């Protein structure tokens, strides 16, 4: 079972006390451009163009020149593309 950061589950402790337990907040995982390309299938230039147009997650500037993306945001974008495609097929 996967919970969002705002959900909680009820756990009955062996003492019989019902306690609310929040799931741990997952830390963002940063990925570099080659993994982003592999996940979404877009080219480098398309990724940067879509990020500029705000239709794709924006990169995060790391120390110096490199950029990275939050993996969860890229995965959400991919999932949204799949959902939109499936709805269009109906």
- Does residue 51 sit within a domain? yes
Q: Dump the DSSP string for the chain.
A: ----TT--EEEE-TTS-EEEEPPPPPPPPEE-HHHHHHHH---HHHHHHHHHTTSSPPPEE-SSS-EEEEHHHHHHHHHHHHHHHHHHT-
- Does residue 5 sit within a domain? no
pLDDT, tens digit (0-9, with 9 covering 90-100), for 33-55:
999 999 999 999 999 999 999 99
What pLDDT, on a 0 to 100 scale, did the predictor assign at position 18? Answer: 58
* CATH number of 61's domain: 1.10.1660.10
- Name the pTM for this structure: 0.69
pLDDT top residue among 68 and 88 = 68
- Does residue 82 sit within a domain? yes
What's the number of domains the chain is made of?
1
What pLDDT, on a 0 to 100 scale, did the predictor assign at position 47? Answer: 98
With a pLDDT cut of 90, the percent of the chain lying above it is 60
Domain that holds residue 61: 27-88
- Does residue 8 sit within a domain? no
């Amino acid at each position: 079972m996967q919970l969002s950061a705002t959900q909680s589950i009820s756990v009955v402790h062996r003492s019989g006390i019902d306690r609310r337990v929040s799931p741990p907040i997952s830390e963002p995982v940063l990925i570099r451009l080659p993994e982003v390309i592999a996940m979404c299938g877009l080219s480098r230039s398309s990724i940067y163009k879509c990020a500029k147009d705000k239709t794709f997650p924006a990169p995060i500037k790391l120390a110096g020149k490199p950029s990275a993306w939050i993996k969860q945001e890229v995965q959400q974008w991919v999932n949204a593309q799949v959902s939109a495609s499936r709805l269009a097929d109906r």
